[in-house]
């Protein structure tokens, strides 16, 4: 099923492609850096990288921003708040917070594929306060309680 995302290209994104799926089976669309000059991110540092895009999502959806696996493996480049969430009512420019978890500086050039965007449905929750919760085999065990902790 295809959903339509309304998109507005800002002046600093002129000449760059809109987000696209790299393959027919891809879940995420590649987002491009709309930088006017290269930005270098030092080891342990982070930077907000503009995409030059504003969007209007379909009702009941979010846009999840995720790292690109190749950048993560080869360069240690992550999306700092991964997965980031773009809410359906946000209308500002999409910006990607990149974190350099590697040990050498990393340069972001204009048009570089910097992250993936995945359109996802949103299920809203309602809290129901109760006196007790149903029992489970795990109970209150956490932080490695279901395995060896490795």
Residue 109 banded pLDDT, cuts 50, 70, 90? very high
Residue 28 belongs to domain with CATH number: 2.70.40.10
Is pLDDT of 150 > 60? no
Is pLDDT of 142 > 90? no
Length of the chain equals 150
Residue 147 banded pLDDT, cuts 50, 70, 90? low
Identify whether 145 is part of a domain: no
pTM of the model: 0.88
Identify whether 1 is part of a domain: no
Identify whether the C-beta of residue 103 lies closer than 8 Å to the C-beta of residue 76: yes
Residue ranges making up the domain that contains 98: 11-121
More confident residue, 142 or 61: 61
CA dihedral of 23, 28, 29, 34, whole degrees rounded to 10: -130
Domains in the chain, number? 1
Residue 138 banded pLDDT, cuts 50, 70, 90? confident
pLDDT in tens, 3-60: 999 999 999 999 999 999 999 999 999 999 999 999 999 999 999 999 999 999 999 9
Q: Which of 30-34, 124-128, 144-148 has the lowest mean pLDDT?
A: 144-148
Identify whether 60 is part of a domain: yes
């Amino acid at each position: 099923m295809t959903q339509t995302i309304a998109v507005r290209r800002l002046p600093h994104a002129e000449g760059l492609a809109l987000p696209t799926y790299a393959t027919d089976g891809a879940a995420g669309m590649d987002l491009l850096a709309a930088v006017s000059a290269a930005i270098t991110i030092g080891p342990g540092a982070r930077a907000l990288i503009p995409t030059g895009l504003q969007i209007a999502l379909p009702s009941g959806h979010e846009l999840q921003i995720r790292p690109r696996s190749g950048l993560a493996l080869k360069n240690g480049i992550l999306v700092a708040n991964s997965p980031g969430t773009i809410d359906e009512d946000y209308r500002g420019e999409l910006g990607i917070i990149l974190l350099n978890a590697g040990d050498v500086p990393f340069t972001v050039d204009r048009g570089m594929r910097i992250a993936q965007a995945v359109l996802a449905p949103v299920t809203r929750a309602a809290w129901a306060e109760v006196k007790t919760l149903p029992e489970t085999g795990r109970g209150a065990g956490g932080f490695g309680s279901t395995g060896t902790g490795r």
